[in-house]
């Protein structure tokens, strides 16, 4: 169900690792990454969605994805997902992330 087209946010934010003796910063020069809808749908617990810094990601990815600017994008997307779930009577895990991406693009997100 989930795949390449279900990404609901894009970010060029650098990776900020604040562990060890010295913080590390890895720039994403002329690059970006996208975050998939499934990162916000818990594996257990029907009817639940997460947004903001609650996404599922590896440590290094989270070192970039946790930044406030991206969290705005996540909230926008998950707001659409919550509305879709409530209005269509469908569980969040059954929502096609591509539909959320399409709605975000209609709102001007420019993901495509």
Residue 111 domain-assigned (yes or no): no
Strands (E), the chain: 7-11, 15-17, 24-26, 33-36
Residue 15 domain-assigned (yes or no): yes
> Is the pLDDT confidence value at 66 over 60?
yes
Domain count, the chain: 1
* Residue with more model confidence, 45 or 55: 45
Reduced to 3 states (helix: H, G, I; strand: E, B; else coil), residue 91 is coil
- % of the chain surpassing 70 pLDDT: 96
Torsion angle defined by CA atoms of residues 92, 95, 97 and 98, in that order, rounded to the nearest 10 degrees: -160
Give the domain range for residue 90.
Answer: 4-106
Residue 22 domain-assigned (yes or no): yes
Tokens of 91: 């569980």
Kindly report, residue by residue over 98-110, the tens digit of the pLDDT: 999 999 999 999 9
Residue 84 domain-assigned (yes or no): yes
pTM: 0.84
Residue 82 domain-assigned (yes or no): yes
Residue 22 neighbours by CB under 8 Å, 6+ apart: none
Residue 96 domain-assigned (yes or no): yes
């Amino acid at each position: 169900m989930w795949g390449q087209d279900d990404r609901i946010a894009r970010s060029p934010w650098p990776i900020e690792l604040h562990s060890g003796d010295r913080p590390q910063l890895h720039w994403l020069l002329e690059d970006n990454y996208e975050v998939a809808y499934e990162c916000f749908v818990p594996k257990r617990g029907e009817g639940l969605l997460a947004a903001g810094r609650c996404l599922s990601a590896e440590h290094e990815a989270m070192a970039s994805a946790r930044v406030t600017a991206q969290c705005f994008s996540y909230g926008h997307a998950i707001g659409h997902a919550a509305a879709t779930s409530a209005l269509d009577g469908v569980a969040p895990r059954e929502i096609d992330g591509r539909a959320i991406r399409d709605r975000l693009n209609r709102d001007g997100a420019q993901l495509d």
